[in-house]
Structure 1
Amino acid sequence: MASCGGLLTPDREVPGLIVKFGDYPLHHGGVGAIRSLGRIGVPMYAITEDRRTPAAVSRYLTGAFPWRTTGAEDPGYLVEGLLRIGRRIGRPAVLIPTDEEAAVLIAEHQRELGETEFGGFLFPRVESALPRRVASKQGLHELCAAYGFSSPVTACPRSQADIEEFATTARFPVVAKNREAFQRREQPAVPGTTRINSARSLRALARGWGERPGVVLQEYLPREQAEDWVVHAYFDGNSAPLALFTGVKVRSWPPHAGMTAHAYVVDNPELADLAARFVKEIGFTGIIDLDLRFDRRDGKYKLLDFNPRMGAQFRLFESETGIDVVRAMHLHLTGREVPEGDQRAGHRYVVENIDLPALIAYRRSGYLAPHAPARASGTELAWLAADDMKPFFTMLARFLRPGAKHLYELWRTSRRGAPPG
C-alpha cells in the first residue's frame, strides 16, 4: 500500500465516482479503485446495484448510489442519471468507468458531463468516437490494420452467404466473438469467446445468428504456442504514457478466454514500446487495459482486446512510487504531478473466487504459463484486505447464497474445460 506522504500528494477535495452500468455486483475492480484512492484520502462514491454489494460496504466508500441499469438504456437517460448523482455530490468528481458502456457514454457526452452547475465531472478528453471503435472487435481490427499493429486474422461476415464462403475456405479451429462489446448484454450472438472446430459446427451455430450476423471470426491461436500478456496504462492529452505496466496472465476464467484470475508483473520493454506507439498513433487518452497474445510461431504480439477503461485486475500493477493507473488519472486530472517509478516486477494478483476453479481447469489441460516467476515478490488479493474486510465477506455471502448459480457454473465449466454456455 502506498503512503499518503512523499511524492504522492492527491487533491483530497476532488472525489472519485465509480461509474458502472449493468448487473454485475461481484466486481473486484470497482472495489480495488475505491480502496486505491480511498487509502490516500480521496473521498470515493460509487454506483452500485444495491447497498449490499462488496463495493457498497467498503470502509473507504463515502457514499453509494444504488441504481440498477443494463447499459442498454437510452443515453439521455443515463447522462441525466449521472448528472443527478453529480448534483448530490455537489462538486466536481473524477469519473472512473468500469465497463465499455460507461466509457463510451462519457466520451460521447463530454460537453453535457463536463459543463454543469456543480462544476462538471473530470475525465480524460478523448476523441468522442474512439472508445466505441476500440471496444468493437471489428473496429479494433481495422485500426490494427491501418496502423500496422498485429492482430489475429479476422473476418467480419455481413450475411449468411459470407459465413458460407468463410466455412468453405477457413482453416479450423476458429474463434467467434461478438462484433460489438455492447452485444454481451443485449442479444449476444455467442456467449463469449467461442472456439469452433469445424465448418459443420460453424454452419450449425450460425443458424441462430440471423441474416446479419453480429460476430467476427478470428484465427485460433493455439495456447501451446502462445503466451497471454496484459498492458495497463494511463495516457495524457498528448497520448504520452504517465504510467505504463506489463504483465503475464497465468490463469483466466473462463479458461483461456475470460477475465484474469491469476497474473504476474513481468518487465517487457518491447511490449511496452509497441503499446505506447499504437496508442500514440490512434490518439487515445485516458486509461487502457490491453489483452495480447504472443504467437511464438511468428514472434508477434497480437492485440485481442482494447478496453478503454480500467481493467478489473488493475491493482496488479503499482509503481515503486505508489502509482497505479487510477491514481495516475486522478492526479493528472486534478493538476498534480504523477511521480515516475519502475513497476514492481514479480508482484502477483489473485482473484480468490475464480482462481481455484481456473487452477483445476488449467491443471486438467496441462497448460503452464511461460514467464511466470517461480516465486512472487508480493501478492495482492482482489477481495481480502486486512484494512477492509467487509467486501470479502459480502462477496462470499453473495457467491455462496442459496439459489446462486455461481458455484454450479464454476464446477460445470472446470469439468468441461470450456466457457459456460
Structure 2
Amino acid sequence: MSWAGADDAAALDFLLNISRRHGLRDTLLIPAGDAEIRLTAQSHGALSGAFRIMLPEWEALRWVCEKPLLYQRAAELGLAFPNTYRIAAPEQAAGLEPAFPIILKPHMGGGNSRFVKAKVIRVDNRASFLPAYNEAATEIGAGNVVVQEMIPGGGESQFSYAALWHGGAPVAEFTARRTRQYPVDFGYTSTFVETADEPEAAAAARILLASISYSGLVEIEFKRDRRDGALKLLDVNPRPWSWFGLCRAAGIDLGAMLWALAQGDTVPSAGVQSHASWMYLSRDVAAAIGLASGGRLSAAQYLRSFTAVRSWATFSLNDPLPGLIDLPLTAWRVLTRRVFHIG
C-alpha cells in the first residue's frame, strides 16, 4: 500500500486500514499539509475512532482555513486584514479597478495545480491582471481565487503567533518575527525567524481562535502595514509549520506538549527564550543576497544574525546529508522562481 495523497478518493479508507492493520488506535495523527488538514477535519468522526486527533471538526476549522471565510470572521471580530476584492466570476474581474500591486492566491492550499503550488502571484498592472486571474480561475475556479492588496515591506514587518490550544484556550504560546524570507517582499518560505514580543499579534490570535473553540497546533501570520500602522491578519496554519524547530530551541516545545496533551498528561508551563532564532541556511543566503543588493542588509548585520541561531531547517552535524541535498534543490527553486511576479 502506498499513500496516494489526501485528495485521492481512497485516502480515508487507506488511513483506516493502516490503523486497523498496525493497531494504531492510540497513535496521534498529525496532518502536515493543507490537503491533509482538510481530509482529517472533514473525516473527524471516522478518524477519531482509528487515531487520536487534536484538531477541530471542519465546520469550525474551515473558518480559519478558507481565506474568504477567514477574512469574513476577522471583519466580524474587528481584526484588521488586507483589503480583499470580492470576485466570484471572470466578468467581475474584468470590471475591477484595484490599486496595484496586488496579489492572487488560492483560497486554501493543497492540490497540484500550478497556481496552488506557487502559493502567491504578484501582479503590478492591469494589463497583466486579467490574464493572470483568468489562468488561476481556470485552474481552481473563479470563486477560489483571492485577490488582495499587497502590503509593502518584507520580512521585518511580518510576525507570527505560534501556539498549542486545547478546548478553546491557549496551553502555550509565543510570538516571532519572520525577519527574512524568500522572495524577500512576499515569501514563499521563511528563511530567518527570531522570537519577538508582539502582544498585539497574540491578542488578535486569541480572539480569532477562541471564536472557533480551537484545539491543536497553530501558527497565525500577520504583517505590520507601515502606511497605517495596523497589524493585519494574513493566514492561519493549523499544522506544524516550516520553522517549527524554533519552538523547542526557544524553550516552548509545542510538539512534546501536544503529545503530552494527547496522552492526558499535565503540560508544564514554559517561558520563551528571547533572541532565539531559526535559519534555513541555503535559502537565507539567497534572501540575504537579494536584500544586500537593494541596500537593505549589510554583511556585518547578516553575520551577526548567526549568533542567535538555535535551530536549523536542514543542517545538523550528526546528520549532514539533508543539508547537502537541499543545496542543489534550493538553487533550482531560486532559478525557476516558484513564486511568480507578473507585470
User: Do they fold alike, i.e. is TM over 0.5?
Assistant: yes
Corresponding residue number in structure 2 for 1:177: 105
Corresponding residue number in structure 2 for 1:158: 88
User: Secondary structure of 1:291's partner?
Assistant: strand
Q: Counterparts of 2:91 and 2:81 in 1: how far apart (Å)?
A: 25
Q: Counterparts of 1:88 and 1:363 in 2: how far apart (Å)?
A: 54
Deviation, 1:121, is: 1.0
Corresponding residue number in structure 2 for 1:351: 280
Q: What residue identity is the alignment partner of 2:7? A: A
Deviation, 1:176, is: 1.0
Of the structure 1 ranges 93-102 and 270-279, higher mean CA displacement relative to structure 2 is found in 270-279
Corresponding residue number in structure 1 for 2:13: 80
In proportion to residue count, which structure has more helix? Answer: 2
Corresponding residue number in structure 1 for 2:58: 128
1:379 to 2:310 alignment: yes
Matched residues, percent identical? 23
Q: What residue identity is the alignment partner of 1:107? A: A
Change (3 A) 1:132 1:185: farther
What does 1:85-164 align with in structure 2 at a 5 Å threshold? 85-91=18-24, 92-115=26-49, 120-164=50-94
Q: Counterparts of 2:316 and 2:153 in 1: how far apart (Å)?
A: 33
1:188 to 2:115 alignment: yes
Corresponding residue number in structure 2 for 1:246: 175
Match of 1:408 among 328, 332, 343: 332
Corresponding residue number in structure 2 for 1:67: 2
Deviation, 1:162, is: 0.8
Query: Would you say the 8 A contact 1:103–1:131 is kept in 2?
Result: no
Deviation, 1:87, is: 3.1
User: Secondary structure of 1:231's partner?
Assistant: strand
1:281 to 2:211 alignment: yes
Q: Counterparts of 1:174 and 1:144 in 2: how far apart (Å)?
A: 20
Note the aligned Cα RMSD (angstroms).
2.9
Deviation, 1:294, is: 1.0
Q: Counterparts of 1:159 and 1:420 in 2: how far apart (Å)?
A: 23
User: What is the aligned residue count?
Assistant: 333
Q: Counterparts of 2:193 and 2:261 in 1: how far apart (Å)?
A: 27
User: Secondary structure of 2:248's partner?
Assistant: coil
Match of 1:217 among 147, 160, 184: 147
Of the structure 1 ranges 252-261 and 143-152, higher mean CA displacement relative to structure 2 is found in 252-261
Query: Would you say the 8 A contact 1:156–1:215 is kept in 2?
Result: no
Q: Counterparts of 1:199 and 1:162 in 2: how far apart (Å)?
A: 14
Change (3 A) 1:399 1:319: closer
Query: Would you say the 8 A contact 1:189–1:208 is kept in 2?
Result: no
Q: What residue identity is the alignment partner of 2:313? A: A
Q: Deviations for 1:147-204, whole angstroms, at most 9, x for unmatched residues?
A: 21111010131112210221xx32111111112323x524637833111111111123
1:269 to 2:196 alignment: no
Deviation, 1:270, is: 2.6
Q: Counterparts of 1:121 and 1:412 in 2: how far apart (Å)?
A: 39
Q: Deviations for 1:75-105, whole angstroms, at most 9, x for unmatched residues?
A: xx11222223323442411112211111221
Q: Deviations for 1:272-297, whole angstroms, at most 9, x for unmatched residues?
A: 12211221123222111111101122
User: Secondary structure of 1:97's partner?
Assistant: coil
Of the structure 1 ranges 135-144 and 330-339, higher mean CA displacement relative to structure 2 is found in 135-144
Corresponding residue number in structure 2 for 1:340: 269
Q: What residue identity is the alignment partner of 2:133? A: A
Query: Would you say the 8 A contact 1:152–1:219 is kept in 2?
Result: yes
Q: Counterparts of 2:294 and 2:56 in 1: how far apart (Å)?
A: 42
Q: Counterparts of 1:95 and 1:313 in 2: how far apart (Å)?
A: 20
Deviation, 1:340, is: 0.9
